[in-house]
Structure 1
Amino acid sequence: MAQLKVHNSLQPGVPVPFLPKEEGKVSWYACGPTVYDHSHLGHARNYVSTDIIRRIMRDYFGLKVKFVMNITDIDDKIILKARRQRLLELEKGKKYTESELTKLAATAFQNYAEGNLPELLNPDDKSDLSPSNYTSRRDAAYGKVLAGGTLIGEGKPGDAEAKMKMHLNNLTSAAAAIQEGKVFGGADEILQPYLDSLYKDSIDGRDHTIFTDVTQYWEEQFMGDLDALNVLRPDVITRVTAYVPQIAKFVEQIIAKGFAYEAGGSVYFDIASFEKAGNPYARLRPESRNDKALQEDGEGSLSKSLGGKRGAGDFALWKKSKPGEPVWDSAWGGGRPGWHIECSVMASDVLGSQIDVHSGGIDLAFPHHDNELAQSEAYFCEHGKGPHQWVNYFLHMGHLSIAGSKMSKSLKNFQTIKAALSTDYTPRGMRIVFLMGRWNDGVEISPDMRTMAEGWESTVNNFFVVVKSLIAEKGPPASTSESFSTLSIDSPSDGLSGNLSKAQREMEIALSDSFDTPRAMRVLYELIKDANIHITTHKADMDVPGLEIIARWVTRMVGIFGLDANASPPYDRLGWTLAALTGNMTALEIAAPFHEMFDRVRDDVQNLDIHSETLDLLLAVKADAEFEDLVSNDVKDPEALAMPYLRTVSKMRDEIRKLAPASPKKKVILSLSDRIRDYDLTNLGVYLDDRSEDQGALIKFVPKEELLTQREEKAAKEREKHAQKEAAKAERERVEREKAEKAKVSPLDMFRSDEKYSAWDEEGLPTTLADRSEIPKSALKKLRKDWDRQKKAHEDWKAKNVV
Structure 2
Amino acid sequence: MASNIRVHNSLKPGPPVPFVPIQKGKVSWYACGPTVYDQSHLGHARNYVSTDIIRRILLHYFGFDVKFVMNFTDVDDKIIIKARRQRLLDLEKQKNYTDAETIELAKAAFRAYAQNNLPKLLEGDGELDINNYIPRRDAAYGNVLAGGTLTGEGKPGDAEAKLKMHISNMTTAVIAINGNQVFGGADEILLPYLDSLYKETIDTSDQSIFTDLTRFMEGEFTDDMDALNVLRPDVVTRVTEYVPQIAKFVEKIVEKGFAYEAEGSVYFDIAAFEKAGNTYARLRPDSRNDKALQEEGEGSLSKGLGGKRGAGDFALWKKSKPGEPYWPSKWGNGRPGWHIECSVMASDVLGSRMDLHSGGIDLAFPHHDNELAQSEAFFCEHGHEHTWVNYFLHMGHLSISGSKMSKSLKNFQTIKDALASTYTARSMRIVFLLGRWNDGVEISPDMRTQADSWESLVNNFFTNTKSLLAEAAGTSTTVNGAVKALSIGDDKAQEGLRADLEQAKKDVEEAFTNSFDTPQVLRAIAEVIRKANVHINTQKSDVDLPAVEAIARWVTKIVGILGLDANASPPYEGLGWVSAAAATNQNPAMTVKPFKAVYETVYSDARALKLPDSEIITNLLSQSPDSEFESLANSGTKDPEQLALPYLRAVAKLRDELRRLAPTASPEVKKSILNLSDRVRDFDLTNLGVYLDDRPDQPSLIKFIPAAELIAAREEKAAKEAEKARAKEEARLAREKAEEEKWEKAKVAPEEMFKSDDRYSEWDAEGLPTKMKDGSEVTKSQLKKLKKDWDRQKKAHGEYKAKFGGGAT
Q: What SS is found at the alignment partner of 1:150? A: coil
**1:110 match:** 111
The answer as to whether partners of 2:801 and 2:807 remain within 8 angstroms in 1 is no
Hey, what's the Cα distance between the residues in 1 that align with 2:493 and 2:264?
71
* Of 532-541 and 773-782, the range deviating more from structure 2: 773-782
Q: Deviations over 1:41-94 (max 9, x none)?
A: 110000000000001111111111110000000011111111111111122222
Structure 1 residues 747, 519: CA separation in 2 closer, same or farther (over 3 Å shift)? same
**Cα gap change, 1:472/1:110 in structure 2, threshold over 3 Å: closer, same or farther?**
same
Secondary structure of 2:542's counterpart equals: coil
Partner residue in 2 for 1:24 = 25
Match of 2:674 among 645, 670, 689: 670
Residues 576-655 of structure 1 mapped to structure 2, 5 A cutoff: 576-577=577-578, 583=584, 585-610=586-611, 611-655=613-657
Amino acid in the other structure paired with 2:508 = M
Which amino acid is the alignment partner of residue 71 of structure 1?
A: F
- Give the 5 Å matches for 1:221-232: 221-232=220-231
- With over 3 angstroms needed to count, the CA separation of the structure-2 counterparts of 1:185 and 1:801, relative to structure 1, is same
1:253–1:663 CA distance, 2 compared to 1 (3 A): same
Work out whether 1:463 is the aligned partner of 2:449. no
Query: Which has the higher mean CA deviation after the structures are superposed, 199-208 or 560-569?
Result: 199-208
d(CA) in 2 for partners of 1:186, 1:223: 30
2:796 equivalent to 1:797: no
Cα gap change, 1:486 to 1:673, in 2 (>3 Å): closer
- Separation (CA, whole Å) in 2 of partners of 1:581 and 1:785: 81
Aligned residue runs from structure 1 range 407-446, under 5 A: 407-446=405-444
Deviations 1:315-359 (A, max 9, x none): 111111111111111111111111100000000100111100000
Deviation larger for 87-96 or 549-558: 87-96
Whether the 8 Å contact between 1:579 and 1:702 is mirrored in structure 2 is: no
Aligned AA for 1:31? C
The CA distance in 2 between the partners of 1:798 and 1:145, in whole Å, is: 73
1:394-428 Cα deviation digits (max 9, x unpaired)? 00000011111111111111111111111121111
Which amino acid letter does the alignment assign opposite residue 701 of structure 2? L
Structure 1 residue 761, shift from structure 2 partner: 6.5
Q: Which residue of 2 aligns with 1:137?
A: 136
Cα distance in 2 between the residues matched to 1:535 and 1:625: 32
Change (3 A) 1:109 1:657: same
Shift of residue 503 of structure 1?
A: 0.6
State the Cα RMSD in Å. 2.5
CA–CA distance in 2 between the matches of 1:124 and 1:728?
65
In structure 1, which of residues 706, 712, 716 is the aligned counterpart of residue 715 of structure 2?
712
Q: Find the aligned partners of 1:99 and 1:559 in 2 and give their Cα distance.
A: 62
Aligned residue runs from structure 1 range 521-532, under 5 A: 521-532=522-533
Output the amino acid matched with 2:328: D
Alignment partners' CA distance in 2, 1:696 and 1:139: 69
Equivalent positions of 1:207-286 (< 5 A) are 207-286=206-285
User: Number of matched residues?
Assistant: 795
1:150-169: CA deviation from partner (whole Å, max 9, x where unpaired): 11111111111111111111
Deviation at 1:496, TM superposition (A): 1.4
Displacement, 1:467?
1.1
Partner residue of 1:150? 149
Residue pairs, 1:349-748, within 5 angstroms: 349-384=348-383, 386-475=384-473, 476=476, 494-577=495-578, 583=584, 585-610=586-611, 611-664=613-666, 665-692=669-696, 694-747=697-750
Distance in 2 of aligned mates of 1:133 and 1:722: 56
- Structure 1 CA distance, aligned partners of 2:217 and 2:769? 95
Query: SS where residue 387 of structure 1 aligns?
Result: coil
Q: Which residue identity lines up with residue 691 of structure 1 in the other structure? A: R
C-alpha displacement of 1:637: 0.7
For 1:767 and 1:347, the matched residues in 2 are separated by 105
Q: Deviations over 1:146-202 (max 9, x none)?
A: 111111111111111111111111111122212222221112222221221222112
For 2:295 and 2:555, the matched residues in 1 are separated by 48
Aligned amino acid, residue 632 of structure 2: L
Distance 2:758 2:798 in 1: 24
1:197 matched residue in structure 2:
196
SS in structure 2 at match of 1:626:
helix
Contact 1:748/1:765 (8 A) holds in 2: yes
Distance 2:211 2:386 in 1: 35
Shift of 1:614: 2.2
User: Contact 2:751–2:768 (CA<8 Å) still a contact in 1?
Assistant: no
Equivalent AA in structure 1 for residue 154 of structure 2 = G
Distance 2:271 2:486 in 1: 58
- Distance verdict in 2 for CA 1:613–1:492, change over 3 Å: closer
Q: CA deviation at 1:212?
A: 1.0
- Contact conserved, 2:262 with 2:307, CA < 8 A, in 1? yes
Q: CA deviation at 1:433?
A: 0.4
Q: Secondary structure at the match of 1:143?
A: helix
Once residues 533 and 440 of structure 1 are traced to their aligned partners in structure 2, the CA distance between those partners, rounded to angstroms, is 35
Instruction: For 2:673 and 2:264, locate their aligned partners in 1 and report how far apart those are by CA, in whole Å.
Output: 90
Report the AA paired with residue 707 of structure 1. Answer: L
User: Over residues 646-694 of structure 1, what are the superposed CA-to-partner deviations in whole Å (9 max), with x where a residue is unaligned?
Assistant: 11101110110000011112111111100111111111111111111x2
Give the match for residue 167 of structure 2.
168
Deviation string, structure 1 residues 231-269 (Cα, Å, up to 9, x no partner): 111010000000000011111111121111111111111
Identity of aligned residues (%): 64
Are 1:765 and 1:783, in contact at CA under 8 Å, matched by a contact in 2?
A: no
Q: Distance in 1 between matches of 2:215 and 2:679?
A: 53
State TM-score, norm by structure 1: 0.95
CA deviation map 1:376-402 (0-9, x unaligned): 111111115x21110000000000111
Pair 1:505–1:487, CA change in 2 (3 A): farther
Counterpart amino acid of 1:534?
H
Relative distance call for 1:260 and 1:666 in structure 2 (3 A) is same
Q: Aligned partners of 1:554 and 1:733: how far apart in 2? A: 60
